[in-house]
Amino acid sequence: MSALALLARRVFSSRLRSFSRPLSTNPAPPRTIDDVNSLFAEARLSLQDALESKGTVYFVDDFADAKEATQATLSAFEALLEESSAEQRQSLLEANRPKMAQLAEEFRQLEHELIHDD
């Protein structure tokens, strides 16, 4: 990807995320799985931005955004599980545990690349 295309994508992504972020620094717990899925989509976009900006001046900020978004998503999913009945919890886990595990693993891989960058 060219430097100009990377810059345009980064600016667009940052602006898009700024509109979707809650105004509060301590957002309310998610009410539905749709709320968690929105956070999940934002986290995946942040991870992709960080991967694409590796080796550029934007990487540190993109990595921080990816970390924050990943942690927010996993925390929101845990909060939703805690608020759910046993039956709902089981259904949520069966449907969403694999993608939450994938998100956590993708972040771990990004973190590993940062630490072991040659």
pLDDT range class, residue 11, cuts 50, 70, 90? low
Return the percent helix, strand and coil in the chain, to nearest 5: 80, 0, 20
pLDDT of residue 116: 81
pLDDT range class, residue 115, cuts 50, 70, 90? confident
Q: What's the whole-number average pLDDT of the chain?
A: 84
d(CA 5, CA 28): 35
- The residues spanned by each domain of the chain are 3-21+33-115
Q: Which DSSP helix (H) or strand (E) runs through 56?
A: none
pLDDT of residue 113: 84
Contact 70, 47 (CB under 8 A): yes
List the one residue out of 2, 69, 73 whose CA is nearest residue 35. Answer: 73
pLDDT, mean of residues 50-59: 94
Whether residue 6 has pLDDT greater than 90: no
Whether residue 24 has pLDDT greater than 90: no
Contact 12, 41 (CB under 8 A): no
